[in-house]
Every structure is written in structure tokens, then in C-alpha cells.
Amino acid sequence: MYTDIRLEKGLYSITGKTFTQALSELDPDSAYENTELKGLDAFERQLKRFDIKVKGANSDRVEKFFLSTQSAVLFPEYVRRAVKAGMNEASILSQVAATVTYTDSMDFRGLTVTKSGSTDVVAQAGELPVTTVRLANSATALTKFARKLSCSYESIRKQRLEAFGVILRNLGAALARDVNGLCMTQIIAGVTPSTISGNTIAYSDLATFWSSMNEHNMTTMVCKPQTMAKILGFSEMKYCIGDYMASGMVKTPYGVTLVKCSELSSDIAVGIDKSCAVEAVFGTDVIVDFDKLISTQCDEIACSVSVGFSKLTTGAVKVLNATK
């Protein structure tokens, strides 16, 4: 039973496993299939064990984690999950990356896909068109993103976990925005931008830009906030309000999802076929310094993530200069 598990900080140090994965081996989810605890993972069952409420107006205070040496072991995972939640909220990767993979190296060699032949129609005894998959010519180093939150235990011990979680999610969002910027920088490298017809972007420019991705389906268009505001101001976009009210996403009349990214280096729109354009490679999931956090006298919270990006398919990323 989850109430009999001995919690110790060594669960954070098992190579190749997260804290929750290590905990799940001691307390498998399958044991709770037909119980009221179904749907909770191993970490959430430990929160229940120590009666720690992390959400809502009546959430417990930070000091509740430190009422015992065992419950204190749960605090770094709470911090990691809150930071990760903030990253997920601010990340654009779900709208951009075709796949997310993990590596235990500090660099990686992505795949490149190129096609020969303009058609797949083959005459009798004719030569077959070829799709070629190769490793990239050189390895790409993963970039480490890290941030430290300075906060003495005395300053946070009486804070509600709901309020403290807001601070941690904001920290995660800051990391994610920098990751967004790296993603866009790496995938547009080497892509020749097209230009708009007039001095400012018009709806006709969007239509032309969309049609320029003739072999692929432009699913996503990433823009700076100022550019996105111009697009939303087009009279043609008034018919898309219903999509936003239903899903919270803004799409053009021809189905391209608009994504805001303030980290773009210039006033451009980046068109992406999400199904085949980009691979996101993580060297780590979100990491926190568990050893310091288990001590009630911690004076800082450090978290980090390592990530890189690889462009998979030629022609699946397009760039439009939104100004002249």
C-alpha cells in the first residue's frame, strides 16, 4: 500500500528514472484499478497519504511538506510539476513539433528527409523516385535553460501552496518562452523569406503564403504579437471568432492555426506543417535541485531543462517577411 512506502531522497537519484517512475515501481498504479484512488499517480497518492492539498483556496501552506522527514521528500517533485505546468502553458511546441524525443547525450544528430522526382507516377521500366533519409552532417548541441528562484524558507513557509504554485508556474513559463525562441531560430535557419506585395501585410499575402507550401499542409503560422494583431484585424478574420470561442485557438479561414511568439527575432510569419517539420529533442525533463529543497533551510530553487531542435523535412517550414 502507498501508506507503507518509505520515502527517501535516493528516489531522485536513480539513473534513467524520474522520482514518480521510481515511486511507481514501489507502488504500482495497477494496484488501485478498482479503488477510489484510481486516476491518481504514485506521487499524488503520497500527497493524499500526508494530507497535503496543493490546489484551491484552502490549499495547505508550504510548511506542511516539512512536518516529517518523509513528507519533505515530496517537495522537490511538487516544485518540478508546478514548473513543468508553467512551461506547458507557455510552450508553443504542441503546435509546432511533429515529435518529441529524449536523449541521454548533450548533443544529437537529427534526421533529414529529401525527395527526388516531381511525381510518383512511374512509367514502365522507369526509374523510381526516391525519398532519402540521412543523419544530419553535424551534431547539434543541446541548449540548457535554467533559472534560480531566490526565496528563504522563512519567506515562503506560511504561503499557501496555490499561491506559491503561481510563482513556480511563472518561472516555468519564463523558461518555456526562451525555449520557444530557440525553436524558431533553429528551424528558420537557412530558409529564404518571401515578401509581401505592399508596404504592410494584407490578407492576400496570407493566402499567397499559405499556397506557397504546395507539397505540404501549412497547419500553423507563428507570428510576433504585433503581426498577429494586424492579421486579427483583417475583415476576413471576423468569421473565425466562433473557432476562438469554442477552442481558444485562432485559425484563418483556410484552417491555419495562428500562434503568438514574442521571441521571434524579427517581424516575420513562420508557416509550419506540424506533421513533419520539426523534431524537439530533450536531454532532460525539468530538473530541480532536490537535495537543497528537502532541507527546510533552502534559500533558492534552481530548475533547468536541456533542449534542441531539428528540421526534419525540406519545404515544411516557410517564412514571410511581414514588413518591407
pLDDT computed for residue 246 by the predictor: 66
Q: How many CB atoms lie within 10 A of CB 263?
A: 17
Q: Facing residues of 132 across strands?
A: 114
Chain-wide mean pLDDT for the chain? 88
Structure confidence by residue, pLDDT tens digits, 116-145: 776 777 777 677 878 788 777 777 889 999
pLDDT value at 176 more than 80: yes
Handedness of CA 292, 293, 298, 299 (dihedral sign): positive
Residue at 102: amino acid letter: Y
Helix and strand totals (H; E) in the chain: 11, 15
Q: Dig out the grid coordinates for 55 from the structure.
A: 490546489
Element containing residue 271 per DSSP (H, E): strand 268-272
The tens digit of pLDDT for each residue in 290-301 reads 877 776 666 788
Pairing type for strands 143-150 and 300-311 reads antiparallel
Beta-carbon neighbour count of residue 120 at 10 Å? 9
Amino acid at 145: F
The answer to whether 3 and 70 have CB atoms below 8 angstroms apart is: no
pLDDT band at 215 (very low <50, low <70, confident <90, very high): confident
pLDDT in tens, 237-279: 887 877 766 666 888 888 899 999 999 988 899 999 999 999 9
Check residue 84 and give its pLDDT: 95
Query: Measured between alpha carbons, how far is 275 from 86 in angstroms, rounded to an integer?
Result: 25
- Compute the Cα dihedral for 211, 232, 255, 220 and give only its sign: positive
